Amino acid sequence: MRILLIEDQIPLIKALRQGLEEEGFAVDTATDGEEGDAKARTTPYDVIVLDIQLPKVDGLTLLKRWRAGGINTHVLMLTARGTTEDKIAGLNSGADDYLTKPFELDELLARLRALIRRGHQKKDPFIRVHDLTIDTAARSVSRGTKKVSLTPREYALLEFLAFHAGTVVTRTMIWEHLYDEYDENTSNVVDVYIRYLRNKIDKGFENALIMTKWGEGYMLRGPDDLGTAAEEPAAETAKAEKPKKK
């Protein structure tokens, strides 16, 4: 999932970005309110992590502008001020959650995952699609009785498909949510990771779950979609580039 981190403390940005990327998040950053505002208005982020005290435009002002302008992206506010008044001001301005510095990375990760589930109307940390089970808290996957080992990028792609199970997602949608502004891969890499997932999720099972919709995109089968074989774009994936290492 793709996160926008708006924070003016460079060491904190670097540490948080590294920790989030190791957990499979795509992370864009901004160091002042104006830069953060421009990015928030042009990219469909899953969550924005927003510091209150920012140069140029403060976090509360940004948040009020976004909500007034119809931007409904979930926002987790960060602040060094932990008073009740500050928390109330943030929540009343439209924040979805609040975290006071200093904090542990694990707590930030748990709150981000909860906000992402909320964005997809999923309260249960377990996503179940037929015999596929995804534990979004532990980031573990199993199909039937088989544990499936995935890389962070493979897991992020599977989770995105699972959140939209039964619905076609385009390559553009996948790219916008799984790759950050610094990524040097081309959009063709999506086809490569779909093939990786098929080999790990579908290979050896009677019913394939990952489908290709010609000219549209990809889909993880919904509850009523079992019964037909998944379409495999052989010519297309044959041309797909191998992902570059970051």
Report yes or no: 216 and 164 within 8 Å, Cβ to Cβ. no
Q: Any idea which of 95-99, 134-138, 219-223 has the lowest mean pLDDT?
A: 219-223
Q: Which of 204, 177, 207, 181 is closest to 193 using CA atoms?
A: 177
pLDDT tens track for 129-176: 899 999 998 899 999 999 999 998 899 999 999 999 999 999 888 888
Please, is 228 exposed, middle or buried when counting C-beta atoms within 10 Å of its C-beta (0-12, 13-18, 19+)?
exposed
The amino acid at 94: G
Q: Which pLDDT belongs to residue 84?
A: 77
Cα atoms in the 13 Å half-sphere on the side-chain side of 74: 20
Q: If you count DSSP H runs as helices and E runs as strands, how many of each does the chain have, helices first?
A: 9, 11
The string of pLDDT tens digits covering residues 20-75 is 998 889 999 999 999 999 999 999 999 999 999 999 999 999 999 999 999 999 99
pLDDT bracket for residue 224 (50, 70, 90): low
Q: What is the pLDDT of residues 28-37, one digit of tens each?
A: 999 999 999 9
Task: Name the band, by pLDDT with cuts 50, 70 and 90, for residue 226.
Answer: low
The pLDDT score that the predictor gives to residue 180 is 82
* Nearest partner of 119 among 72, 174, 59, judged by Cα: 72
pLDDT (tens digit per residue) in 178-216? 888 777 666 678 888 999 999 999 998 988 999 998 888
The model's pTM is 0.79
Best mean pLDDT range from 85-89, 178-182, 185-189, 219-223: 219-223
Whether the Cβ atoms of residue 128 and residue 143 lie closer than 8 Å to each other: no
Asked if 195 and 210 touch (Cβ cutoff 8 Å), the reply is no
| Proportion of the chain above pLDDT 90, given as a percent | 59
- If one compares 110 and 234, the residue with the highest pLDDT of the two is 110
Going from the N-terminus, what domains does the chain have, and what CATH number goes with each? 2-119 (3.40.50.2300), 126-239 (1.10.10.10)
